[in-house]
Chain A
Amino acid sequence: SQQGEEDPQALSIQEGENATMNCSYKTSINNLQWYRQNSGRGLVHLILIRSNEREKHSGRLRVTLDTSKKSSSLLITASRAADTASYFCAITGANSKLTFGKGITLSVRP
């Protein structure tokens, strides 16, 4: 399976701290995308990183990709209570289909 696997499964931090979430996968990929989901609602697209990229930034988000280790990380800096959500990584492989990891539950305490 080329499924992405996030870790940790759950993360609890204080507001203002940084949150780091990791994703590992098993096969070659075209790109990797991170999503946020609040309370079982729709998925919000956060960022896409292509297989030939190593790092991307978007506001308080920083994503890295290490294709040699088949892993990616999502860093949220200066976290806020509104960042409380589930975060998913999803990989696109040679078949162009999106395969999701199990997700990470992030709780940011005010």
Chain B
Amino acid sequence: SAVISQKPSRDICQRGTSLTIQCQVDSQVTMMFWYRQQPGQSLTLIATANQGSEATYESGFVIDKFPISRPNLTFSTLTVSNMSPEDSSIYLCSVATGTGGYNEQFFGPGTRLTVL
């Protein structure tokens, strides 16, 4: 398994501001992902964070709103830009051990964001 940490664990932000969430893994991993979990809902994939290239976004998510960095194989950041109350969610990073879709995916503890 992989040990994943996220910062901050929670934050309360004002409308129109931006927040950058950090994700650190204790080992090098090929695949890292960012998810959103809106209140009372399931998890939705925002994007795949690619090391050395632009992130791959899912339908409904765009780079201008959720810019992602992945400078190396153990670290990634997700920025939630120009926030509105609808962005209030838990944001989770995850990593897949290995490749090919046959391996486990582990999650960080999440960042609980409240936008006022």
Residues on A lying within 8 angstroms of B by beta carbon are 30-31, 33, 35, 40-45, 48, 50, 88, 90, 92-103
Proximity bits, B1-19, A CB within 8 Å = 1, else 0: 1000000000000000000
Between A and B, how many residue pairs show CB distances below 8 Å?
62
Q: Contact: B106 with A45, CB < 8 Å?
A: yes
* CB-CB nearest in chain A for B107: A43
Bound-state CA distance A33–B45 (Å) is: 16
Q: How far is the CB of B20 from chain A (nearest CB, A)?
A: 19
Residues of A close to B101: CB separation below 8 A = 30-31, 92-96
Q: Contact: A101 with B42, CB < 8 Å?
A: yes
Residue among A33, A35, A96 having the largest count of chain B Cβ atoms under 10 Å: A96
In the complex, 6 of the A-B residue pairs with CB atoms within 8 angstroms, ordered by the A residue number, are A33-B104, A40-B112, A48-B104, A97-B45, A98-B94, A100-B42
Q: Contact: A35 with B112, CB < 8 Å?
A: no
Instruction: Name 17 extra pairs, CB < 8 A, besides A41-B109, A95-B101.
Output: A30-B101, A31-B102, A33-B105, A35-B107, A40-B37, A40-B90, A41-B110, A43-B43, A45-B106, A45-B107, A48-B104, A50-B102, A92-B102, A92-B105, A98-B33, A98-B45, A102-B42
Residues of A close to B105: CB separation below 8 A = 33, 45, 90, 92, 98
Q: Contact: A42 with B92, CB < 8 Å?
A: yes
Proximity bits, B80-107, A CB within 8 Å = 1, else 0: 0000000000101010100111111111
Size bracket, chain B contacts: 20 to 34
Residues of B close to A31: CB separation below 8 A = 101-102
